[in-house]
Amino acid sequence: MPHSIVSYVNESELLDAHRQELRRGSVVLASLLALRTPGYGYGLLEALDRAGVPVAANTLYPLLRRLESQGLLTSEWDTSETRPRKFYRTSQDGIRLARALLREWQAIDKALTRLDMEGPQR
């Protein structure tokens, strides 16, 4: 018997699950690209949402800290406003990595498009 962790009730749930899987890796790239101009947690969450790359808050906040510990982001506390916020900015390493990831992303896009074109039913 095949094992499935979740049994999907209908097709849209199945689509959601696969879409989530497909988008998961893009969050790092989107964050690195967006944070070339400094931003803070909630601001980035909204910016990514507006840009069409919605992320869950409980995924994004820990991710920012991880990218910082990997040296891909730098951070600074801004205490000039009433609410102190931690601002992140993509580091030089981060920018280099983002470029490499972006090339990868575009290569996947091209490859998938080509596969689609070669498909039997057009």
Partner 1 sequence: MTASLTDRYVAATVRHIPDKQRREIERELRAAIADDIDARAAHGQAPPDAEYAALRDLGDPALLAARYTRRAMALIGPDTYPAYVHTLRVSCWSVLPIVYVVLVLVLRAHGEDAWTSIFRPVGTTLTVAMYLAVAVTGLFAIADRRRADHPDTAGLAEPWTPDRLAMADDPPPARWSDLIAEIVLVALLIAALFVQRVLSPVTTADGTAVPIINPALWAFWVPYFIAVIVLALAVKVVALRQPAWSLATSVAGTALTLALAVPLAWLFWQAQVLNHALSHGTGALPAAGSWIAWLAILVLALITIASLLGTWRSRNRNRGGDIDAGSTYAKAER
Question: What is the binding site for partner 1 (CB under 8 A)?
Answer: 40-43, 45-46, 56-59, 61-62, 65-66, 83-86
Q: Which is nearer to partner 1, 71 or 84 (CB)?
A: 84
Residue 23, token pair as written in the block: 């988008």
| Shortest Cβ 6–partner 1 spacing (Å) | 16
Q: Which is nearer to partner 1, 10 or 80 (CB)?
A: 80
| Shortest Cβ 61–partner 1 spacing (Å) | 6
| Shortest Cβ 110–partner 1 spacing (Å) | 32
- Is residue 86 a contact partner of residue 77, using CB atoms and an 8 Å limit? yes
Q: Which is nearer to partner 1, 57 or 100 (CB)?
A: 57
Q: What is the DSSP string of 50-65?
A: HHT----HHHHHHHHH
| Shortest Cβ 40–partner 1 spacing (Å) | 7
Sequence-ordered strand ranges (E) for the chain: 39-40, 73-78, 85-90
d(CA 71, CA 51): 25
- Is residue 27 a contact partner of residue 64, using CB atoms and an 8 Å limit? no
d(CA 42, CA 49): 11
Q: Which is nearer to partner 1, 42 or 105 (CB)?
A: 42
